[in-house]
Chains A and B, each alone.
Chain A
Amino acid sequence: MKKDSDGFPNLSPTSLGVRPVDVDLDSANNVQVNGKGMSVSPRWRDINITRVPKRLRPKLAGAGGSNSTFCFRAGTGPFEQGPFANGLTLEPDSATHGNIAPEAVVPFETYRNDLELTRHDWQEDES
């Protein structure tokens, strides 16, 4: 994610946020509850190598992401299905990937707002 000057994630569709293409929307622009949402991984080393910032090459060979992005972590619990934050759940789809999804059918804007409200739960973690 991109980082703001206060050290927390930038709120944008490609940082802390989602794009309509990341979820399934119905005709009323409501987000469907089917496990889709904002992509996350249990460890930054698991994410797509083209997204891991290049400066982390000494820690992870081949990192090809932009140095203007940062790895953030939220919480310390196990990477398993369950509540994540108000209105949101963690939905793992493999041992190395999952999505932060809405817990109920809600308007896209509500889902986005719920994600934005987690902003201060995220800490930079590139260790």
Chain B
Amino acid sequence: MQPQPFTLNPSYLAMVRGVRELHRLIADGKEDSPEADAIRDATDGPWGSLSEIERRRVRNLSEDLYSLREPALSQVPPNPKAFSKLVDALEARKQGEWDRALDLLRSWGSFVGDPATVSYVRGEIWLEAGDPATAAVFFEHASELQAENGSYLAMLLNALVLSNPVEAHRRAETILAEPDKSSPVVIAHATNIVLKSLTNASESEASRRFRSLIPILERTVRRFEEEDPGSVDRSSYVMTIANLGLAHEFLGEAQLASQNYSRGLQIDPTNDALLVARGMLLYGTSARAITDFEEAVRLRSPVVWPYFALAHHHLSNSRFEECRRFAEQALELADSAAVQSELYEWVAISQSMLEFPGETVRASFENAIRLDPSNERAVSNFAKFEAAVGRTVKDWKIRSPAAVRSSVLAERRYQMAA
């Protein structure tokens, strides 16, 4: 059975948030402060609504938060039995038995002799159980104990992206202000956060920021390459190269973008995002684009573009059944009305050429026009279909590959910095 996250109802979330905040105050010696009393008042109601399982979970979380400040855990000599219990905890986590995994760590964690690892595993459990805000507390503790381990700080950034994006961005900017002070893994995640935050920036601001990040990304790629190949964090390495490609793509530097996507694919040939990105840059100019899209589809890419591009490619080459199939797959992933409209238009053309019943073809054209009344090409093609009255239409209006490439790249840019 697929591991299920904790049930996060509002009372439970309020209680967990209250416990986290109370522990922050306790750590600051403010357990008797008005702020602490305000938390106690605010959590009486939520506490009353919790199930016994949730109450136990909250009590145990509170206990685990106490353990973060208990002294000299790292001084405890490692205990072999504790290691086997740590393995049990990891196995329970793998099975989605979050409470059991946390119970094992609570009972045996202090005997492992490595509090940073224990906190890291706790953070991973809370993250996988659907509570990134609590995960962040444990990742932060792990990171404080072993500042030299970039993976802990990277996981903290990831948890903050999900739970407190403003704080994640603040920390990412702080890290990027002095990039050589952090490990490449941390820089990879920090740049990723800043790039994603540009969705709210103006185009000029986004361009300026992309431009300023390129040297940092290039330097980080070099630092990854200087690491021992056996220990390099491959996913962070590839993410950095992909973001370098993205920055060049956003700035209109297609060749540099394509080179970086290819470089990333040499390291991770099954990275569907890179395949789609490169395919889109090459569409209409190289047959490689089609093989990239086909590979992305084979990898079940969750983005619309490879299906969209392949539908267009087959339509342009009069392979209507293939066009219809890819267009219908793309429709399941498309969230833009304009894209959906064009896909319905291609479905309608394919249906017409495959001699589907007139009503079916008509319904597809009507969907296309309803979704995007400004789609004049669909209106024109629909008119041709109606005028043909049983004859085969031979002069459908279909966009060129170059036009499709330009619009998709513009759409990707818009998504990057809309």
Contacts and interface: CB of A to CB of B under 8 A. Distances in A.
Contact of A49 (B26, B32, B59): B59
Interface string A4-34: 0000000000100000000000000000000
B40 A62 contact: no
A107 interface: no
A63 to B, nearest CB: 7
B61 A64 contact: no
B61 A62 contact: yes
Contacts of B19: 49-50, 62, 64
Nearest to B26: A64
Interface stretch (A53-61, A70-78, A83-91): A53-61
Given A61-B60, A62-B60, A64-B62, A49 B47 contact: yes
Given A54-B31, A64-B22, A66-B36, A49 B44 contact: no
A43 interface: no
Nearest to A54: B31
Interface residues of B, number: 23
Nearest to A60: B59
Given A61-B60, A63-B62, A64-B22, A48 B31 contact: no
Contacts of B66: 57, 62
A100 to B, nearest CB: 15
A118 interface: no
Nearest to B21: A50
Given A61-B60, A64-B19, A50 B40 contact: yes
Contacts of A94: 48
Contacts of B37: 14
Residues of A in contact with B, size category: 20 to 34
A47 B45 CA distance: 11
Contact of B40 (A48, A60, A67, A68): A48
Nearest to A65: B40
Interface string B1-42: 000000000000000001100110010000110001101100
B63 A48 contact: no
A47 B43 CA distance: 11
A39 interface: yes
> What DSSP secondary structure best describes chain B's contact surface?
helix
Contacts of B63: 57, 61-62
Interface in B29-79: 31-32, 36-37, 39-40, 43-44, 47-48, 55, 58-63, 66
A119 interface: no
Of A51, A61, A66, A68, chain B has the most CB atoms within 10 Å of the CB of A61
B32 A64 contact: no
Contacts of B32: 66, 68
B180 to A, nearest CB: 41
A26 to B, nearest CB: 23
Contacts of A97: 48
Given A62-B66, A68-B32, A97-B48, A48 B43 contact: yes
Nearest to B45: A48
B409 to A, nearest CB: 53
Given A66-B31, A68-B32, A51 B40 contact: yes
B58 A49 contact: yes
Contacts of A60: 59
Of A50, A61, A96, chain B has the most CB atoms within 10 Å of the CB of A50
A48 B62 CA distance: 12
A6 B30 CA distance: 27
Of A14, A64, A97, chain B has the most CB atoms within 10 Å of the CB of A64
A66 B19 CA distance: 13
B62 A62 contact: yes
Nearest to B49: A94
B55 A49 contact: yes
B18 to A, nearest CB: 6
A109 to B, nearest CB: 23
A62 B62 CA distance: 4
A48 B59 contact: no
Of A49, A65, A66, chain B has the most CB atoms within 10 Å of the CB of A49
Nearest to B106: A61
Contacts of B59: 49, 60-63
A48 B44 contact: yes
6 contacts: A39-B44, A61-B62, A62-B61, A63-B59, A63-B62, A66-B32
Given A50-B47, A61-B62, A62-B63, 5 more contacts: A14-B37, A50-B40, A62-B59, A67-B31, A68-B32
Interface of A: 14, 39, 47-51, 54, 57, 60-68, 93-94, 96-97
Closest 9 CB pairs of A and B: A62-B62, A62-B59, A48-B47, A61-B63, A62-B63, A50-B40, A61-B59, A66-B32, A48-B44
